[in-house]
Each structure stands twice: as structure tokens, then as C-alpha cells.
Amino acid sequence: MDALRRYDELLSRLLYDRPFRERARAGDWSAFGEEADAFQTVDLERCEALSTAIRDGLVSGQLGGLGLGHVFPETTSAIAGGAPEAVEAFLAASGAAPGFDGTCREAGVSVFESFYRWAEGRLIHQPEALRVAQHELAAGLFRVLAAKPHPGFRIEWPLARPLGQGWLCVLDAARPLYSAWDAPDTPVAYVAALGQYVTGADALDFAAMVLEREGKPPRWASERVAALEPATADELHALLASWDAAA
């Protein structure tokens, strides 16, 4: 298997790394080393067509999901000026990496989260763009989780947390968060529960109630619960009871 690994790496780069592929198409096989002769019969035009189909499928969602272009419109624009260009760069960086399949899905992780991890590294010195990327990931991911609270992939993003039959994420409206312990100054909540995706004030009230019930809530959650109208608090308690019953 080790003897074939080099061939797998080179073929993956031909598929996903356009500059690498274009050098081969121009007759420059120097990057292939001793394996260059084995690749002389590879149809590079077919590689080009397949690479374009994978890129376009990830952008549009034709390979499954909502499509990276729909989920990350501002992030892809910030990184590369548009979704096709950003996804192509993502493919070049991730397509040949260990643990990724043929459509850049990281083993066991959603393509949304895989793309966000890559984008996070590109945006680490652009806090506003990173903040937007976090909100775009939460919105896209939680729409999926509303329909499938137990999806067929792991969620490793530390800012998303499972709660019974649902999921909760609290971000900041003004800045990116850098860990699960980074408390937001201006909280924005995303909730996927009981088949519904909710954000905005209602989601924030619900998130505050959940965090308050768990004990040791952040200050914003305690203050929000204390300010709830009695009728609103009763509605949220009833919703939490439905959540518990469904668990």
C-alpha cells in the first residue's frame, strides 16, 4: 500500500490542483519525479472535466447538501472573489489531503465544516470575515440539523453543542469567537430543535433558558431570563418540556 501512496497523491493533485494539472498539460512533468512515465497515458482533459464537475457540484449542492455557494456567499467572496474560485482553492488544498474523499468530504465530517476549517485558516487575520464565516456555517449547518438532529456525520465545531433532540450555537454579532469558552458580548443564537430551525430573539430567549437550566450560565443568559415576561417564560418552559419528552 505504501508503494501506491505516491501514485494516489499525484493523481489526487491532478484532479484537484489546477496549477499542478496545467503544468502537466504544458508538458512539465518534473513534479512527478520517478513516477512521471506512469502518468503519460492519463487523459488530462478528462481530469479537467471531472475536476470542474466536482467543483461545480460542491458550489451548487448537486453532490448533496445545500451547496457551498449558497451557505457561504460572503465567505467565498472574501477569500477568492466568488464561490467557484474559493471552492477550487479548497479542492486544491484538501483534495489530496489524508482523510478526505473524492469530493473533499473529510472523514466523518460535513463538507460545510471541512470548508469552514479551511476558510478559518485563510481568514484568521480578518476578524470581520471570520465572524461572517461563523454565522454562515451556523445557519447552513443548523438548517440541516433541524431536519436531521442525528445526522450521518460528526459535528466537531466547538461552538455547536448537542442538547437532547436538538442543537444550540451562540455566536457574537460583533466579533468572531475563538473557543467554546469565549463568551459573546452581543449574543446571537441558532437553535435546531423539534424539526425547526430558529434564530433571532426567540432563539436567544430559548438558548438563555437552556443555559440557565444547565447551571452556571453566562451573565447574558441570566440577565435575559430575568427580563422575560411571565407568559414568554411559560412558553419556553413548555417548549423545554416538549424537548425533554422527545429525548
Torsion of CA 168, 101, 73, 182, to 10 degrees: 40
Buried b (16+ CB within 10 A) or exposed e, 146-157: beebeeebebeb
Q: How do the domains of the chain map onto residue ranges?
A: 1-123, 158-247
Which pTM does this prediction carry? 0.85
Torsion of CA 190, 180, 70, 73, to 10 degrees: 120
Q: Which residues, at least 6 apart from 27, have a Cβ–Cβ distance to it below 8 Å?
A: none
Q: Can you tell me the distance from the alpha carbon of 194 to that of 247, in angstroms, rounded to the nearest whole number?
A: 10
What pLDDT is stored for residue 96 in this prediction?
55
Q: What is the pLDDT along the chain (247 residues), one digit of tens a residue?
A: 466 788 888 888 888 888 888 999 999 999 998 898 988 888 999 988 988 888 898 899 877 667 999 999 999 999 999 999 999 899 888 765 555 555 555 557 888 998 999 999 999 999 999 999 999 999 999 999 998 878 888 899 999 988 777 899 999 999 999 998 898 999 999 999 878 898 988 888 888 888 888 787 888 889 999 998 989 888 888 877 777 666 6
Strands (DSSP E) found in the chain: 160-163, 166-172, 187-193, 196-199
SS3 172: strand
What pLDDT is stored for residue 119 in this prediction?
95
Residues forming a β-bridge with 193: 166, 196
What pLDDT is stored for residue 110 in this prediction?
84
Contact 196, 239 (CB under 8 A): no
What pLDDT is stored for residue 100 in this prediction?
55
